[in-house]
Amino acid sequence: MTWTSKFCFVVFDHSLISQVLLEEVTLYEARCGVTSCCAAAMNDIVKLFICCAGVFSCYLFYGVFQERVTRGKYEDGEKFTYTISLVFLQCVTNALFARAALLFTEKSRSTAPAHLFAALAGTYVAAMLCSNMSLQYVSYPTQVLTKSCKPVAVLLLGILLAGKRYPLFRYLCVGLIVGGAAIFLYPKDKPSAAKIEGNEMIGNLLLAGSLFCDGLTGAFQEKTNAHGVSSHSLMLNMNLYSLIYLAGGLVYLGEVPRFLGFVSRNPTIIKDIALFCLLSSLGQNFIFMTVTSFGSLVCSLVTTTRKFFTIVFSVILFGNQLVTQQWIGIVLVFSGLFIEGMVKSSGKSKKPVEAVDKKQS
């Protein structure tokens, strides 16, 4: 098997990554005479490195290109306001990637009812639109930090809509997250570089709407997973139904001619949009790989750490200055996320994850 073939299998079929790595480790073992125990450990280390490197590199640069597209400086001071077109292209790329992955992994069709995918896609699209539109009013670090408060939305919706009760540690973690977010969003002295033209309150409301839709998306996703839908099948159907909503919005608002006109005046944006969409698809794939290989605890730690460094990248590359009080807020938010992820995942058995992994392979 050539390295090109191995790369395709590693990217598209998570169940074969162990086989590919094991083949190389076995050759190394034969050459160097290391024990099988060391070989197995090396296999896990290399696999974890691939997952972490994939998530970090894809989403760090995803954030860079997202900020360049939505908040870049264009000809005659024109701003990018074509959010529906951007999300449409992102969903097209995600759907194509998922379809290609299914060709490598499975042949069976999804058994989940269509209305579940339709509802899931509706909240998914609404969350992405609100999130991208918010960047016209707030800084990128503000968007990333606020979107990290998703556990707050999940908890509130669980209490209000489903009547759920949660353990005390969940409320404590949410308290840390809310407190940290409040400190970050409303510091006493904001740096002048952080002041964005327009009404910042609109950006905060859009982010609140995005969080609300994220909470609904999680609820619909749980119902969809109950039907045994695989990760790539979910990714494909969710994005296909999303394209229906987005196409309707594009036609109704007549955004396509204006978007194409903007691109013709600013052709350099084509590369940024293409890389933004590609990195989005690859990033989702590496997250699926991390969950199926190492469980939700490792995945939550990796993605939470990634979000922190995304903020750092934005500060360094785009000059989004933060005051000391805002850094304290960031530490509180991510501390709450880490604690919640570790405590919640430590109480779960790894067997269900392994069972799902075997069923999908």
**For every residue of 148-216, which 3-state class applies, written as one string?**
CCHHHHHHHHHHHHHCCCCCHHHHHHHHHHHHHHHHHHCCCCCCHHHCCCCCHHHHHHHHHHHHHHHHH
CA 90 to centroid of chain Cα atoms:
12
CA distance 302 to 51: 9
Q: Quick: pLDDT tens for 82-116.
A: 999 999 999 999 999 988 888 877 655 667 888 98
What is the structure's pLDDT at 297? 57
Q: What pTM did the predictor assign? A: 0.72
Q: How many CB atoms lie within 10 A of CB 210?
A: 24
| Integer CA distances (angstroms), 9 to 3, 101, 242, in order | 10, 9, 27
Per-residue b or e along 321-360, where b marks 16 or more CB atoms closer than 10 Å to that residue's CB: ebeeebeebbebbbebbbbbbeebbeeeeeeebeebeeeb
Q: pLDDT value at position 126?
A: 95
Question: Which residues of the chain fall below pLDDT 50?
Answer: 1-10, 12, 14-18, 20-21, 25, 28, 34, 192-197, 349-361
Name the phi and psi angles at 106, rounded to 5.
-150, 155
Burial class (CB in 10 A: 0-12, 13-18, 19+), 49: exposed
Per-residue model confidence (pLDDT) at position 3 = 43
359: helix, coil or strand?
A: helix
Q: What is the pLDDT of residue 358?
A: 40
- Contact 323/191 with Cβ under 8 angstroms? yes
Structure tokens, 296: 């939700």
Q: Which of 57, 63, 67, 59 is nearest to 269 (CA)?
A: 67
